[in-house]
Amino acid sequence: MRRLNLQKTENMAADMRLPTFRKQVSLSPSLSALDGKDLVVPGDVITSDTGFMRGHGTYMDEEKLTASVAGEVERVNKLVCVRPLRTRFNGEVGDVVVGRITEVQQKRWKVETNSRLDSVLLLSSVNLPGGELRRRSAEDELTMRDYLQEGDLISVSSDLTLTSNLGPFSFIAEVQSVFSDGALSLHTRSLKYGKLGQGVLVQLSPSLIKRQKTHFHNLPCGASIILGNNGFVWLYPAPGQQDEEAGGYYTSLEPVSLSDREVISRLRNCLLALGAHKVLLYDTSVLYCYESSLPHQIKDILKPEVMEEIVMVTRQKLVEQEG
Amino acid sequence: MATVQVSEAEKVYILHGVRDDLRVDGRGCEDYRHMEIETDMVSNTDGSAKVTLGHTDVLVGVKAEMGKPRPMVPDEGYLEFFVDCSANATPEFEGRGGDELGMELSNTLYKVFNNRYSVDLKSLCISPGEHCWVLYVDVLLLQCDGNLFDAISVAIKAALFNTKIPKVHISEDEEGGKEIELSDDPYDCMRLNVENVPCIVTLCKVGHRHVVDATLQEKACSVASLIISVTHKGTVTCVRKVGGGSLDPESIFEMTETGKRVGKALHAPLMALLQEEESLGKKRQKVGFLG
């Protein structure tokens, strides 16, 4: 919906109100997702049986197995562990993450991926401009800043074994391996990964992103989305006629059209609404939320009552789809 | 101020968006984010208010103490400001990190609020030259998501509205010395007239246009901002430029006009909301910090 820029009336005043308790949106008590799940808080005794092996999120307190984080208890044969509901991103091999370069070091970049440690992107793990495959020379080391600078965003994937830490550009990469200290090593080997251009980054909790086969989606509403496993979601205008490779280092700085912008802003607000109500994020849920938000103005989506209404409709649609 | 890093492409995206009057979250250049205001939540102060603007959270407490008036103006009280940037807001404020920002905020608040045109300082006088009320205004930053000045000024106005200063009776005893009595009744108090208290509007220059209520990402794209304090009549009481970039006089004029318009429009809904909260009285459900 277009706004008239010239007429400034009282509608333009700030939306002020008294605070109210935030209600948790739930469909009905019988459909509560808590049925059958074993939730614990730190200090809760899980079992007094000594026959179990203790996994992550637990500790032994005088012969009793106690939880150290708040989350769900998982039992696999004799192994008991607690999976926390909200935590920093723990990367696994093959995860797709969106990260920001924080530092440029010798032969590698440090990347912030919302995990406990900064992740590492080695110079040998990126595609050089032109797609060439050759040994990295000393010259490449000196011109690292020409490829990726502090502040840029990338998309990457994580591989096997290396564990290292990577750096603010937005780029998308794959986790290559996990270092012994828990830091992630990333690579942008495939052409679909690499530096990201114009768009919007939304930071959410990693536990809200559903693990799927692919994390790159071209939504029918006119924008594209990358759901990084680390909770960073990248929204960008759908690529044009020619298929530009995301792995390229040339980013188009042409102005994005107003209709694309509206779609992206609406999606961003929908993502924040879903995140605030702890709805699992995947392409279908984002799309349903977008559709149910269409009757409202984009900037109204972040008002508490509008958020609740939209999330309610989205949840209903998701339940209908499953049932 | 807390900073976020943005890439060049993101900056270009934000700049073009502002140029087309459609910001990243769908607002226009003159729209504020969703604001929530609550008063009277800190029980051991004389007045308090908490303002949430987007993700920025500010808590203001006002305490009234008796002190000696300033020698130049013996028949007026005064206000003292202290801004505490707590490490809760952002890790950059850990240790002494928040002191510099706190000093800058306090100094601006002194300029804006501590004069007789904004607050009726004469009503704070008890006996000229000897006793007066000193209002200690403490601001606590709980969360920082851009646009601190606006949130702080709205919170200060709400807290001053909420302030209840006990009524004082001065009696003379036998030797001619003055005796000060505070009334025992907790409801026997005087309220301040906050009609003329200004609200601050921060305008950030992004590209060729300016935005009101900038988020941290938009702040990272702007090099200069203008802070204007505006009363309910639209009078500008204080103008200050912050940031390392330059502003040409035309921009300053345009930004001042916008600031006047936006600032004037802030007061009426704020006072209406505060009156509504007051009229709810005991029936009001206090949300506090855990809502």
Annotated domain spans of chain B: 8-281
How many residues in chain A? Answer: 323
Give chain B's mean pLDDT: 88
pLDDT at A168: 33
> How close A294 gets to chain B, by Cα (Å)?
13
CA nearest to B262 within chain A: A13
Decide if A163 contacts A183 (C-beta within 8 A): yes
Mean pLDDT of chain A: 79
Contact list in A for residue B284 (CB cut-off 8 A) is 18
Model confidence, pTM: 0.85
Q: Do B10 and A199 touch (CB under 8 A)?
A: yes
Say what the pLDDT of residue B179 is.
Answer: 78
CA distance A2 to B141: 36
The Cα B269–Cα A171 span in angstroms is 43
Question: Do B148 and B155 contact (CB within 8 A), yes or no?
Answer: no
Q: Which amino acid is at B43?
A: S
Question: In the predicted model, what is the mean pLDDT of residues A213-227?
Answer: 89
Q: Cβ–Cβ of B52/A196 closer than 8 Å?
A: no
Residue A247 has pLDDT above 50, yes or no: no
Q: At what angle do helices A258-276 and A283-293 cross, to 10 degrees?
A: 110
Alpha helices per DSSP H over B94-210: 99-113, 148-162
Which residues on chain B are in Cβ contact (under 8 Å) with A197? 9
Q: Which of B9, B23, B36 sits opposite A198 (nearest CB)?
A: B9
Q: Which of B240, B256, B32 is nearest to B146 (CA)?
A: B32
Cα separation, A322 vs B109, whole angstroms: 56
Contact state of B291 with A19 under an 8 Å Cβ cutoff:
yes
φ, ψ for residue B123, nearest 5 deg: -70, -15
Mean pLDDT is lowest, of A93-97, A176-180, B24-28, for A176-180
- The residue in chain B having the minimum alpha-carbon distance to the alpha carbon of residue A270 is B25
Cβ-based contacts of A168 with chain B (< 8 Å): 5-7
Residue B289 has phi, psi (to 5 degrees) of: -95, -10
Contact A221/A227 with Cβ under 8 angstroms? no
DSSP structure string for B213-247 = S--HHHHHH-SEEEEEEE-TTS-EEEEEEESSS--
Segment B263-282 shows an average pLDDT of 89
**Cβ-contact B60, B156 below 8 angstroms:** yes
Distance CA B279, CA B42 (A): 19
**CA-CA distance, B48 to B45, in Å (whole number)?**
7
Cα separation, B195 vs A53, in Å, equals: 68
How big is chain A by its Cα radius of gyration, in Å?
Answer: 22
For the segment B144-149, the average pLDDT, to the nearest whole number, is 88
Strands B131-143 and B78-85, bridge-based pairing:
parallel
Interface size between A and B, measured as CB pairs under 8 A? 132
| CATH assignment, B8-281 | 3.30.230.70
| Residues forming a β-bridge with A81 | A74
Q: Alpha-carbon distance B104 to B241, whole Å? A: 12
Q: What is the dihedral angle through the alpha carbons of A163, A169, A171, A175, rounded to the nearest 10 degrees?
A: 10
Query: Does B206 score more than 70 pLDDT?
Result: yes
Residue B229's nearest CA partner among B274, B253, B273, B260 is B260
pLDDT of A284-302, one tens digit each? 999 999 999 999 999 889 8
Report the pLDDT value the prediction gives residue A179, as an integer from 0 to 100: 66
Q: Please name the residue of chain B whose CA is at the shortest distance from the CA of residue A251.
A: B9
Q: Is residue A171 over pLDDT 60?
A: no
Cα–Cα distance, B7 to A132 (Å, whole number) = 25
Our CA-based measurement puts residue A153 at a distance from the nearest CA of chain B, in whole angstroms, of 7
Strands A79-84 and A53-54, by their bridges, are parallel
pLDDT at A181 over 80: no
Provide, as residue numbers in chain B, all residues whose Cβ is less than 8 Å from the Cβ of A297: 26
Is pLDDT at A141 greater than 90 in this prediction?
A: no
Is the CB of residue B138 less than 8 Å from the CB of residue B105?
A: no
Lookup: tokens for B154: 């709205």
Per-residue pLDDT reduced to its tens digit, A39-69: 899 998 888 888 888 888 888 888 888 899 9
CB A236 within 8 A of CB A224: yes
Interface test with B, best of A299, A303, A308, A310 (most B CBs within 10 A): A299
- Of residues A16, A196, A198, nearest to B35 (C-beta): A16
Closest in B8, B270, B285 to A16, CB measured: B270
Paired tokens of B135: 């209002």
Residues of B in contact with A196 (CB under 8 A): 7, 9
Express each pLDDT in B210-254 by its tens digit: 999 999 899 988 989 999 999 998 888 889 998 888 899 999 999
What is the per-residue pLDDT for B1? Answer: 55
| Residue B91 structure tokens | 């890790």
Task: Give the residue with greater pLDDT, A302 vs B178.
Answer: A302
| Yes or no, beta carbons of B12 and A253 under 8 Å apart | yes
In chain A, the percentage of residues whose pLDDT exceeds 90 is 21
Position A160 scores a pLDDT of 38
Q: Is the dihedral of CA A309, A311, A314, A315 positive or negative?
A: negative
User: Residue A279: which residues within 8 A CB-CB, separation 6 or more?
Assistant: A208, A285, A289, A311, A314, A315
Sign of the dihedral defined by the CA atoms of residues B242, B245, B251, B254, in that order: negative
Interface contact B34, partner A, CB < 8 A: yes
List the single range of A145-154, B55-64, B218-227 with lowest mean pLDDT: A145-154
In B266-285, the residues whose Cβ lies within 8 Å of chain A are 266, 268-270, 273, 276-277, 284-285
> How many angstroms separate the CA atoms of A96 and B5, rounded?
21
To which residue do tokens 């500008």 refer?
Answer: B236
Confidence of residue A281 (pLDDT cuts 50, 70, 90): very high
Q: Which residues of B138-149 are buried (b: 16+ CB within 10 A; e: fewer)?
A: bbbbbbbbbbbb
Mean pLDDT, residues B153-164 taken together? 93
Tell me the nearest-neighbour CA distance from A248 into chain B, angstroms.
14
What is d(CA B206, CA B220) in angstroms, rounded to the nearest whole number? 9
What is the percent of chain B where pLDDT is above 90? Answer: 41
Strands (E), chain A: 16-17, 39-40, 45-47, 53-54, 58-61, 64-67, 71-76, 79-84, 96-105, 108-112, 119-122, 153-158, 170-178, 184-187, 194-195, 200-203, 216-218, 223-227, 232-237
Tell me the shortest Cα–Cα distance from A258 to chain B, in angstroms. Answer: 7
**Residues of A with Cβ-Cβ distance to B5 under 8 angstroms:** 100, 102, 150-151, 168
Lowest mean pLDDT segment, chosen from A161-165, A250-254, B112-116? A161-165
Asked if A13's CB is within 8 angstroms of B266's CB, the reply is yes
End-to-end alpha-carbon separation of chain B, Å?
A: 26
Q: Which of B6, B28, B35 sits opposite A14 (nearest CB)?
A: B35
Burial profile B99-137: b = 16 or more Cβ within 10 angstroms, e = fewer: eebbebbbebbeebbbeeebbbbeebbbeeeebbbbbbb
What are the chain A neighbours of B23 within 8 Å (beta carbons)? 265
Pick the residue from chain B with its C-alpha nearest to A112. B5
Please list the residues that pair with A173 across neighbouring strands: A97, A156
Indicate the range of A186-190, A225-229, B87-91, B136-140 predicted with least confidence: A186-190
**Angstroms from B38 CA to nearest CA on chain A:** 6
Q: What is the chain A residue with the closest CA to B268?
A: A13
Within 13 Å of residue A71, how many CA atoms lie on the same side as its CB?
18
Which pLDDT does position A47 carry in this prediction?
85
